[in-house]
Protein backbone atom coordinates (compact mmCIF):
# COMPACT_ATOMS: atom_id res chain seq x y z
CA UNK A 1 0.00 0.00 0.00
CA UNK A 2 2.82 2.35 0.92
CA UNK A 3 4.52 1.68 -2.42
CA UNK A 4 1.36 2.58 -4.34
CA UNK A 5 1.11 5.91 -2.52
CA UNK A 6 4.77 6.70 -3.20
CA UNK A 7 4.36 5.72 -6.88
CA UNK A 8 1.29 7.96 -7.12
CA UNK A 9 3.12 11.01 -5.80
CA UNK A 10 6.17 10.29 -7.96
CA UNK A 11 3.81 10.20 -10.96
CA UNK A 12 2.26 13.49 -9.88
CA UNK A 13 5.70 15.12 -9.69
CA UNK A 14 6.62 13.82 -13.15
CA UNK A 15 3.39 15.09 -14.69
CA UNK A 16 3.70 18.51 -13.02
CA UNK A 17 7.13 18.91 -14.61
CA UNK A 18 5.49 18.41 -18.04
CA UNK A 19 2.99 21.23 -17.49
CA UNK A 20 3.54 24.39 -19.50
CA UNK A 21 2.92 27.21 -17.06
CA UNK A 22 1.80 30.61 -18.41
CA UNK A 23 4.11 33.59 -18.22
CA UNK A 24 3.15 36.62 -16.13
CA UNK A 25 2.16 38.52 -19.27
CA UNK A 26 -0.05 35.66 -20.50
CA UNK A 27 -1.62 35.39 -17.07
CA UNK A 28 -2.34 39.13 -16.90
CA UNK A 29 -3.85 39.08 -20.41
CA UNK A 30 -6.06 36.10 -19.59
CA UNK A 31 -7.17 37.72 -16.34
CA UNK A 32 -8.16 40.93 -18.13
CA UNK A 33 -10.12 38.94 -20.72
CA UNK A 34 -11.97 37.00 -18.03
CA UNK A 35 -12.85 40.18 -16.11
CA UNK A 36 -14.07 41.97 -19.26
CA UNK A 37 -16.20 39.00 -20.34
CA UNK A 38 -17.68 38.76 -16.83
CA UNK A 39 -18.57 42.46 -16.89
CA UNK A 40 -20.17 42.13 -20.34
CA UNK A 41 -22.21 39.13 -19.23
CA UNK A 42 -23.25 40.92 -16.03
CA UNK A 43 -24.38 43.96 -18.02
CA UNK A 44 -26.30 41.75 -20.46
CA UNK A 45 -27.97 39.85 -17.62
CA UNK A 46 -28.90 43.13 -15.92
CA UNK A 47 -30.38 44.51 -19.16
CA UNK A 48 -32.43 41.37 -19.78
CA UNK A 49 -33.61 41.34 -16.16
CA UNK A 50 -34.70 44.98 -16.33
CA UNK A 51 -36.46 44.39 -19.64
CA UNK A 52 -38.35 41.37 -18.38
CA UNK A 53 -39.24 43.23 -15.17
CA UNK A 54 -40.65 46.15 -17.17
CA UNK A 55 -42.64 43.78 -19.40
CA UNK A 56 -44.16 41.99 -16.42
CA UNK A 57 -44.95 45.25 -14.65
CA UNK A 58 -46.73 46.46 -17.78
CA UNK A 59 -48.78 43.28 -18.02
CA UNK A 60 -49.84 43.12 -14.37
Q: What mean pLDDT is reported for the chain?
A: 96
Chain segment 13-33, per-residue pLDDT in tens: 999 999 999 999 999 999 999
Structure confidence at residue 58 (pLDDT): 87
Asked if the model's pLDDT at residue 57 lies above 90, the reply is yes
- Report the pLDDT value the prediction gives residue 51, as an integer from 0 to 100: 96
Per-residue exposure over 3-23, b if at least 16 CB sit within 10 Å of its own CB, e if not: eeeeeeeeeeeeeeeeeeeee
Percent of the chain with pLDDT over 90: 93
pLDDT at 36 over 90: yes
Amino acid sequence: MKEKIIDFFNGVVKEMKKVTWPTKDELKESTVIVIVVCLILAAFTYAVDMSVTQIFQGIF
